[in-house]
Structure 1
Amino acid sequence: MAATPAAAIASPLSSFTIRSPIPSLSFFFPKPSKFFSLRRSFHSLSFASKASYIDTSFLDDLNSGEDIVFDPPTPPERFIPPPSFDDGPDEAEDEIAAAYEELYGPAYSGVSVLGNDVYVMDSKVKRTSAFGKVKKEKARDGFDERVVQVRRVTKVVKGGKQLHFRAIVVVGDKQGRVGYLTFPHRSEGDYGAAMVMLRPAAPGTGVIAGGAVRIVLEMAGVENALGKQLGSKNALNNARAAVVAVQKMKQFQEVAEERGIPMEELWK
């Protein structure tokens, strides 16, 4: 009677099997359908190595420590060797400068050896900025320019507002002959509501003026002068008034010729 329960428990366990949750390796590595022989593959590799064999027996008699003397071939008939670079005469400095100017243009000294226009040749040279764009060089005509004032001008039209810019620029060559580095006498000029007063100054004073008057005098080449703006503060009218005041000035010789007297009489 005691063996009956044990047999009853063992009977269902006889058909029970324990399986692992991890699949077998045969799932990842399937069985090969064909088998190959390692002996046959080894014979094929040895045959390929024999086919790539290169004969180097001619290098056995070569001595690595011995210097090999180069034996050039005989030159053909009527062969004339070219002259050596060092055998020719030395070039003169003018010839070197002329050759340099033909390739790169005139040197920084500003003197053309070939007699060309330095400013025209310099303008043909393309200069690039850091980003590779070609810089627009201003014309080398000997004139300098200074900006006096830049203002925005807005015009109301039917479609809206139009924005423009007005720039007042003074241009000069700094070689204007107005007296001897200063004005010969006092002068005043007016344009519209603006009025400018100019006075001569002693050497070393410099240009004492402000606004547009100072820029006009510097562009004219004046080194010692006094200037003052009277009336309107308009920059454009003050610049025009300064030009009018300079144009009114006359040299002592011109005044003597107009009066019909010798120049010495003006100093009495």
Structure 2
Amino acid sequence: MTERVVFTRRISKVVKGGRRLRFNALVVVGDSQGRVGAGLGKALVIPDAVRKGNAVARRNMVDIPLRGGTIPQQITVKKGATIVLIKPAREGTGVIAAGAMRAMLELGGVRDVVGKSLGSRNPINIVYATLEALRQLKDPQTELAKRGRLKPEVAAEPVTAEAV
């Protein structure tokens, strides 16, 4: 499992004796083979926050139904004021996404994809919206099997320029 710290911030709580400082760390973990997770850790020092975030991320893992090096279909998800749009791309395109979304897609093993975030650019919301989008992706073969129309040649066909 590979771990990447996407975002850290210092939080201060004002109390009678002054300010109490704490830290948040947003951590993304993945195996580069279709599993990725994200977690937010909070502690008095950054290393402890990262460790806690890593533990939360490992509990929040999702499986990505990869189709070649991309995702099977386009998906849009809204989380808070953040809207995340993820589209499949042809082989050789690479990961066209920024910041937190890019980290999630790369650690999940997606090699060719286009991602866009709209609305709020809060990294925490972007990560959780991306995680929800990846959770909602459906594998074409299992969906066809559920419907009783299994066609392996259709479900396994590569993404072409016309499909994108």
Give the TM-score normalised by structure 2. Answer: 0.70
Whole-Å Cα distance in 1 between the matches of residues 114 and 79 of structure 2? 19
Whole-Å Cα distance in 2 between the matches of residues 262 and 219 of structure 1? 30
1:153 and 2:43 matched = no
Structure 1 or 2: more strand by fraction: 2
Q: How does 1:8-19 map to 2 (within 5 A)?
A: none
Whole-Å Cα distance in 1 between the matches of residues 140 and 121 of structure 2? 33
Q: Bigger radius of gyration, 1 or 2?
A: 1
Say whether the 8 Å CA contact 2:69–2:111 is kept in structure 1. Answer: yes
From 16, 20, 23, the equivalent of 1:162 is 20
Whole-Å Cα distance in 1 between the matches of residues 8 and 129 of structure 2? 19
**Partner residue in 2 for 1:212:** 100
Whole-Å Cα distance in 2 between the matches of residues 231 and 245 of structure 1? 16
Whole-Å Cα distance in 2 between the matches of residues 199 and 189 of structure 1? 12
Relative contact order: is structure 1 or structure 2 higher (C-alpha 8 Å, sep ≥ 6)? 2
1:223 and 2:111 matched = yes
Q: What secondary structure, in the 3-state scheme, does the structure 1 residue paired with 2:114 have?
A: strand
Whole-Å Cα distance in 2 between the matches of residues 156 and 229 of structure 1? 33
Write the deviation string for residues 42-62 of structure 1: whole angstroms up to 9, x where unpaired: xxxxxxxxxxxxxxxxxxxxx
How many residues are paired up? 125
Write the deviation string for residues 103-134 of structure 1: whole angstroms up to 9, x where unpaired: xxxxxxxxxxxxxxxxxxxxxxxxxxxxxxxx
Whole-Å Cα distance in 2 between the matches of residues 200 and 189 of structure 1? 15
**Partner residue in 2 for 1:64:** none
Structure 1 window deviating more from structure 2 (187-196 vs 159-168): it is 187-196
From 144, 148, 155, the equivalent of 1:256 is 144
Say whether the 8 Å CA contact 1:252–1:263 is kept in structure 2. Answer: no
From 102, 126, 131, the equivalent of 1:243 is 131
Moved segments of 4+, more than 3 Å: 264-267
Q: Could you list the runs of 5+ residues in structure 1 that have no partner in the other structure?
A: 1-142
Q: Could you list the runs of 5+ residues in structure 2 that have no partner in the other structure?
A: 35-64, 156-164
1:183 and 2:41 matched = no
From 80, 87, 90, the equivalent of 1:192 is 80
Q: CA RMSD in A?
A: 1.8
